[in-house]
């Protein structure tokens, strides 16, 4: 087996163990809930008999290990149960709301990589100079406020005072786009509606930027720190004595080794963004998982809470596997080890 | 300590950090003397002066029931700092101990403990805290609990990585050879070498705990009214943008100032102590 495939197999196995652990953790949290979920679901007018029936349906009278067994068997069949809040399958609810959140997080992730890495490279190349200090200060400010504060500030500046961007939503009401993937930026293109695509892109810029600001700061800070260390290495001095341009040295020789730690932190930041999306969505009235997630938490809707957290964690583990594979691809020690000497 | 302080005050950025943190801590500790309207920290109404833009004597303006926002921000700092201190005081010893044990003992212990840590690190921090808050009553104590549960694994990871490097060092071997107990080696030999990294991370985390706690209360899952809290102030004010901008901007900037201050000091400490990331 080649090393990449082996790495992938190993990572998938570990992730599966971790995911089972997450499911136990979330399940345990959900079952220490005070109050009877069946009574909450049926409301104050339910009879004892109705409550008893629902409790039996939900296996609430069995011991917790048996309950977990029922739960994991259902999950394996792709069944996360019925949401007591919307009365629909949890998977259907999540399928409805998750694409909007994922789209927001993915665009924010692109901004994080597309802005954060170049800022870090610049900062390291001009280390000690004015440009470096400005970038360091901006990156530190970026990580120093929660994304909802950035969302409020950006909205006030660029949607109210300078009305450049829309205030809320994913797309203007005048566009009716039949969902295919649920990602508006993709669906509009599938339908060949370029103006709708532009409209959706225009809507996503501010929320995605607010969400990505702390990630941009993290990525820039870490890239700079690693590159500054690399600049002390003899091979950089050699490249300098060869007369390579400062730009080439920065982009090719000093940046390469720091790419791997940067990618690791980007993976972690992506996880944080999946959570922080809740905050940004609330400000920009973005129709994603946020409102659903908060609503089910406040209503103690067990199936929905467990399902939502499980899906988010699975997404996060998937992203981390992708990041690990990217690192393996970029790391010559792993990349070349498959070739026979 | 003296030397560290001297270096901190020499650099303009870390000096700024010290000043910001000093202002935050000072105003939180002496809130009763600084706040112009201490009674506004509770459930008070003054409809004659409601929703006023910043003006003397309300330098941050007033909220929708006429309470002085400046007063409420100062009292909210007090809650935030208490929360930060309590969370770190519980999460750090737990996380550090697990990291030390896993890193030094290795083998099956290491596998089990680190996979357990992975489980906690695999749920986005805010989502984990949210689901805990979801099943508990939203009180300050439960908020601390939720943040603590999500915080310890980061220290486990940090200390675990250092320990794995340190346990191959000569001084550990020497201690093993003369028959020192495992407890002695872990806590008296290896732990002191982790302290710089732990202290640096704790300084940075003081800011980040405040940030996460404000995010929880922003979602309505943290400290409940009438207790003043920066996150819920932003959430309440956001409905009245852009007209009553001061309702969100001042509490928001208050979070920024506190977190930024701790970050500036943490960054400088990292440079001085040469701590690993």
Q: Measure in Å the smallest separation between the Cα of B185 and chain A Cα atoms.
A: 31
- Give the residue ranges of DSSP H helices in chain B: 2-10, 12-29, 31-34, 69-105, 107-121, 125-135, 140-166, 170-177, 182-184, 191-218, 230-238, 246-273
Q: Which residues between 16 and 75 in chain A have a beta carbon less than 8 angstroms from any beta carbon of chain B?
A: 17-19, 21-22, 25-26, 29-30, 32-34
A313 and A284 share one domain = no
A341 pLDDT band, cuts 50/70/90, is very low
A48 and A179 share one domain = no
For chain A, give the longest Cα–Cα distance: 85
Q: Do A156 and B242 touch (CB under 8 A)?
A: yes
A191 occurs within a structural domain: yes
Site of tokens 């999500």: B150
Q: Tens digit of pLDDT for each residue in B153-174?
A: 999 988 998 898 888 888 988 9
A55 and A127 share one domain = no
A6 and A60 share one domain = yes
CA torsion sign for B91, A68, A302, A208 is: positive
Choose, out of B115, B219, B245, B264, the residue to mutate when testing the contact with A (most A CBs < 10 Å): B219
How many residues in chain A? 341
Site of tokens 């794995």: B164
The closest CB to that of A279, out of B13, B207, B215, belongs to B215
A174 and A306 share one domain = no
> How high is the pLDDT of residue B224?
80
- CATH number of domain containing B116: 1.10.3720.10
B53 occurs within a structural domain: no
B102 occurs within a structural domain: yes
| Count of the separate structural domains present in chain B | 1
Interface size A-B, in CB pairs within 8 Å, comes to 152
A294 occurs within a structural domain: no
A316 and A253 share one domain = no
Q: Which two tokens stand for residue A249?
A: 């040295």
> How high is the pLDDT of residue A334?
63
A71 and A132 share one domain = no
**Of the candidate ranges A32-41, A196-205, A219-228, the one whose mean pLDDT is the lowest:** A32-41
Cα A321–chain centre separation: 13
Q: Tens digit of pLDDT for each residue in A27-83?
A: 887 776 666 667 766 777 777 888 788 777 777 777 778 888 888 888 888 888 888
Cα B267–chain centre separation: 15
A193 and A254 share one domain = yes
The closest CB to that of A317, out of B122, B212, B277, belongs to B122
Q: Which residues between 91 and 120 in chain A have a beta carbon less than 8 angstroms from any beta carbon of chain B?
A: none
State how far the Cα of B250 lies from the Cα of B239, in Å rounded to an integer.
15
Domain housing A235: 98-288
Q: Give yes or no for a contact between A26 and A309, defined as CB atoms under 8 angstroms apart.
A: yes
User: Does ipTM exceed 0.90?
Assistant: no
> How high is the pLDDT of residue A148?
93
Q: What is the DSSP letter of B223?
A: S
- Which residue numbers in chain B have pLDDT < 70? 1, 274-277
Give residues with Cβ within 8 angstroms of A73, minimum separation 6: none
B50 occurs within a structural domain: no
A59 and A140 share one domain = no
Q: Is B62 helix (H, G, I), strand (E, B) or coil?
A: strand
> How high is the pLDDT of residue B4?
76
Q: Which two tokens stand for residue A157?
A: 């500046």
Q: What is the mean pLDDT of chain A?
A: 84
User: Which percentage of chain A shows pLDDT scores above 90?
Assistant: 20
A93 occurs within a structural domain: no
B49 occurs within a structural domain: no
Choose, out of B15, B116, B131, B136, the residue to mutate when testing the contact with A (most A CBs < 10 Å): B131
- CATH number of domain containing A177: 1.10.3720.10
A275 occurs within a structural domain: yes
Q: Is A129 helix (H, G, I), strand (E, B) or coil?
A: coil
> How high is the pLDDT of residue A190?
84
| Count of the separate structural domains present in chain A | 2
Domain housing B184: 2-41+58-276
A244 and A306 share one domain = no
B222 occurs within a structural domain: yes
Q: Is the pLDDT of residue A275 over 50?
A: yes
Q: Tens digit of pLDDT for each residue in B67-105?
A: 888 999 999 999 999 999 999 999 999 999 999 999 999
Global pTM? 0.87
Q: Give yes or no for a contact between A204 and A104, defined as CB atoms under 8 angstroms apart.
A: yes
Cα B269–chain centre separation: 16
């Amino acid at each position: 087996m080649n090393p990449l495939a082996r790495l992938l197999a190993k990572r998938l196995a570990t992730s599966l163990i971790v995911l089972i652990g997450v499911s136990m953790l979330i399940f345990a949290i959900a079952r220490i809930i005070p109050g009877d979920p069946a009574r909450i679901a049926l409301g104050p007018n339910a009879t004892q008999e109705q409550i008893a029936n629902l409790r039996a349906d939900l296996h609430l009278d069995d011991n917790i290990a048996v309950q977990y067994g029922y739960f994991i068997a259902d999950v394996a069949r792709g069944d996360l149960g019925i949401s007591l809040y919307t009365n629909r399958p949890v998977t259907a609810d999540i399928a409805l709301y998750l694409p909007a959140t994922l789209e927001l997080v993915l665009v924010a992730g692109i901004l994080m990589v597309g802005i954060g890495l170049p800022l870090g490279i610049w900062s390291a190349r001009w280390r000690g100079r004015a440009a470096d200090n400005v970038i360091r200060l901006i990156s530190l400010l970026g990580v120093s406020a929660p994304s909802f504060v950035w969302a409020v500030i950006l909205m006030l500046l660029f949607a109210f005072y300078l009305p450049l961007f829309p205030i809320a939503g994913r797309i203007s009401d005048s566009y009716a786009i039949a969902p295919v993937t649920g990602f508006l930026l993709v669906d509009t293109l599938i339908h060949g509606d370029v103006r709708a695509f532009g409209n959706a892109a225009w809507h996503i810029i501010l929320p995605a930027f607010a969400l990505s600001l702390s990630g941009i700061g993290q990525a820039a800070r870490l890239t700079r720190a690693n590159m500054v260390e690399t600049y002390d290495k003899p091979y950089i001095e050699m490249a300098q004595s060869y007369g390579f341009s400062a730009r080439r040295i920065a982009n090719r020789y000093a940046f390469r080794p720091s790419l791997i730690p940067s990618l690791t932190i980007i993976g972690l930041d992506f996880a944080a963004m999946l959570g922080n999306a809740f905050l940004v969505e609330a400000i920009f009235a973005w129709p994603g998982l946020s409102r659903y997630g908060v609503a089910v938490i406040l209503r103690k809707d067990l199936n929905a809470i467990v399902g939502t957290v499980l899906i988010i964690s699975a997404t996060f583990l998937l992203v981390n596997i992708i990041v690990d594979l990217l690192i393996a691809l970029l790391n010559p020690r792993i990349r070349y080890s498959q070739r026979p000497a | 300590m003296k030397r560290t302080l001297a270096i901190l005050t020499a650099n303009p950025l870390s000096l700024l950090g010290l000043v910001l943190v000093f202002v935050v801590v000072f105003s939180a500790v002496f809130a009763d003397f600084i706040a112009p309207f201490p009674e506004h920290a509770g459930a008070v109404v003054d409809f004659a002066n409601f929703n006023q833009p910043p003006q003397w004597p309300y330098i941050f303006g007033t909220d929708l029931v006429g309470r002085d926002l400046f007063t409420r921000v100062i009292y909210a700092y007090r809650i935030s700092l208490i929360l930060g201190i309590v969370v770190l005081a519980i999460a750090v010893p737990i996380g550090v101990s697990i990291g030390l044990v896993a890193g030094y003992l290795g083998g099956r212990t290491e596998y089990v403990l680190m996979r357990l840590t992975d489980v906690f690190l695999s749920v986005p921090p805010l989502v984990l805290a949210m689901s805990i808050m979801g099943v508990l009553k939203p009180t300050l104590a439960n908020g601390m609990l939720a943040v603590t549960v999500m915080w310890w694994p980061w220290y486990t990871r940090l200390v675990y990585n250092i320990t794995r490097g340190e346990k191959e060092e000569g001084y550990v071997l020497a201690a093993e050879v003369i028959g020192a107990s495992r407890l002695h080696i872990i806590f008296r030999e290896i732990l002191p070498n982790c302290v710089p990294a732990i202290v640096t991370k704790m300084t940075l985390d003081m800011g980040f705990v405040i940030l996460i706690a404000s995010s929880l209360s922003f979602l309505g899952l943290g400290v409940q009214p009438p207790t003043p809290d920066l996150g819920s102030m932003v959430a309440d004010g956001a409905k009245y943008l852009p007209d009553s901008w001061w309702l969100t901007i001042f509490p928001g900037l208050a979070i920024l100032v506190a977190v930024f201050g701790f970050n500036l000091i943490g960054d400088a400490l990292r440079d001085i102590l040469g701590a690993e990331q």
